[in-house]
Structure 1
Amino acid sequence: MQPTLLILAAGMGSRYGGIKQLDQFGPNGETIMDYSLFDAIRAGFGKVVFIIREELRADFKEIFGKKLAGKIEVDYAIQALNSYVPAEVGEVVRTKPWGTGHAMLCAKNHVDTPFAVINADDFYGFEAFQLISDFLKTNTDDQLHAMVGYEVKNTLSENGSVSRGVCDVGENGNLASVIERTKIYEKDGQIVFEEADGLTPLAPDTPVSMNFWGFKPSVFPLVQHQFESYAIANINAPKAEFYIPTVMTNLIQTNTGNCKVFRSRSAWFGVTYPEDKPTVQAALRNLHDEGTYPTTLWP
């Protein structure tokens, strides 16, 4: 059994100002996804499912189809605005996708093995893929899932606030809770998250989710049930998003799932703002120069 990799690539890139999923960052024009795919193949994944908007399908096939042929099975899942929305709520009036939890649900009919979920625009490092791959290949508990966490101090942007799933990890190494904080930044030498009632400090080593999750396929009916209720409650809230941390929190609170937390020592970096691009380009160039990646990923 080889696990499947789901790549969340349907986002609009509102803060980046373009389709950052397909932007070129590596010294040979590689996307960030190229590095995730390269590492996933090395770690033993057998299939990748790109979760995209329909209008991106042709571009994804052109960019990734030939280079991945013979290396890993490739499939495409479409995150449409009306996917899995109960018919009784009527017309869906919104332009923004429903969020990462909904995106994962849209791959339901494309997955029949344990699977991992990642963002298209985050660099995670090989260690994270190996940790999740080993877990997915050996875990026999249908209610036990996993995530790779990173220290919040290593996940900030110098160019503005970021959104992160802030985690509370129990003594048993399992996730106690994860809450999506949509505005985290450094202020006066301290990391904080901002909400309507003010600022709350975060310790630099606080583990956060960068949307690197591992699941059993048995989770899909539970996710679908959660999303249908969420869609009904938020059909008139066009900016509401159904996050994977929301899914996991519900599983934990209802005793229908647990989540093992792995701490990765690998470097993480990603792009939220256009100003982040030179930093990411330099980091990837260094990884090639030091031999972490070959001169060309796809000879």
Structure 2
Amino acid sequence: MKPTLFVLAAGMGSRYGGLKQLDGLGPNGETIMDYSIFDAIRGGFGKLVFVIRKSFEQDFAEKIISKYKDHIPVELVFQELDNLPAGFKCPEGREKPWGTNHAVLMGKDVINEPFAVINADDFYGKDSFAVLGKELSAMTGTENQYCMVGYRVGNTLSESGSVARGVCETNKENFLTGVVERTAIERTDGEIQFTDENGQKVILHENTPVSMNMWGFTPDYFKHSETSFINFLNANQGNLKSEFFIPLTVNELITSGTSTVKVLDTTSKWFGVTYADDRQGVVDKIQALITAGEYPNRLF
């Protein structure tokens, strides 16, 4: 069974001020997402599911889905603030979406096979989809054995400033033991470093794996996430800004011994528009990949 690519795109409308400004960075106006989907198709993925906000369904169908539908089956699901478990109501005044793992939960009725989760606006690279597609194809019929792509931190930095990254802690077998969010990571005097909670400078090895929100799950993950979300809602009832992120559930499952998460190495370089100044660099990097023959000039 071919795996599914689940694209988290519910934040796009707000971040880009509507889809009309979905930034074209390739030579024919291709978006970062176009490259991810192109890579996923050649990496062996058989279906696309987007999670978006209902308010831009029509825009999304016309501008985005129309591009892909002759290449791969596409489904849409919706992340809304009031989509909560029985017995819960959206607190008055809440405007912030419930977070990435709430978005993942929206796929539970349409995904019955191993699936990857990615952000819509991150450039993940060809090798990462090949590595993840191969691993997911071997996961059909299994439960509680998940995976994630661990990018080498040196391949994820911005030239325009420091970045925050989920630094992965792994055991000898390359299974995840935890993800620790680290801020202000940057290359200084040739070394990648950040300042820890005690104010100490910490050097990160070039190949230290970091999470860029590229996960591989089997459908039983939805059941775990529902339980985790109820616990989260009970604990955060008064907090209008709290978000239910994927690493929260993953850490719970690892710590309790319920699930394992294999960290997959990739040679791909991650890039994205973290700062406005990054945009031209992303355009240049995409053009360099086209020149090198990694991508055709026109994708779809």
Q: Give the TM-score taking structure 1 as reference length.
A: 0.90
Match of residue 268, structure 2, among 266, 269, 292: 266
Larger deviation, residues 113-122 vs 190-199: 190-199
Alignment partner, residue 280 of structure 2: 278
Deviation for aligned residue 1:59: 2.3
RMSD value over aligned CA atoms? 2.3
Point out where structure 2 has 5 or more consecutive residues left out of the alignment.
none
Contact 2:84/2:90 (8 A) holds in 1? no
In structure 2, distance between residues paired with 1:159 and 1:120: 21
- Residue in 1 aligned with 2:22? 22
Query: Which residue is 1:66 aligned to?
Result: 66
CA drift of 1:248 comes to 1.1
Displacement over 4 Å in runs of 4+: 16-21, 192-197
1:75 is matched with: 75
Shift of 1:87: 3.1
Residue of structure 1 equivalent to 2:165: 164
Which 5+ residue runs of structure 1 have no aligned equivalent?
none
Secondary structure of residue in 1 paired with 2:109:
helix
SS class of match (2:174): coil
| Compared CA separation, residues 163 and 97, structure 1 to 2 (3 A) | farther
Distance 2:124 2:132 in 1: 12
1:1-299 equivalences under 5 Å are 1-11=1-11, 18=17, 22-85=22-85, 87-88=87-88, 91-139=91-139, 140-181=141-182, 183-186=183-186, 188-189=188-189, 190-193=191-194, 198=199, 201-203=202-204, 204-298=206-300
Q: Cα gap change, 1:237/1:214 in structure 2, threshold over 3 Å: closer, same or farther?
A: same
Query: Whole-Å Cα distance in 2 between the matches of residues 158 and 114 of structure 1?
Result: 35
Report SS of the residue matched to 1:87.
Answer: coil
Query: Which SS does the other structure have where 2:230 is aligned?
Result: helix
Matching residue's letter, 2:174: G
Separation (CA, whole Å) in 1 of partners of 2:198 and 2:95: 28
- Work out whether residues 7 and 117 of structure 1, in 8 Å CA contact, stay in contact via their aligned partners in 2: yes
Cα pair 1:223 1:247 within 8 Å, conserved: yes
Query: In the TM superposition, what is the alpha-carbon distance from 1:196 to its structure 2 partner?
Result: 6.4
Deviation at 1:229, TM superposition (A): 1.1
Q: Identify which range, 29-38 or 39-48, moves more after superposition.
A: 39-48
Say how many residue pairs are matched.
Answer: 296
Q: Structure 2 CA distance, aligned partners of 1:255 and 1:112?
A: 24
Alpha-carbon shift at residue 275 of structure 1 (Å): 1.6
Distance 1:228 1:148, change over 3 A: same
Aligned-pair CA distance for 1:202: 4.3
CA contact (8 A) 2:163 2:186 kept: no
**Greater displacement, 74-83 / 25-34:** 74-83
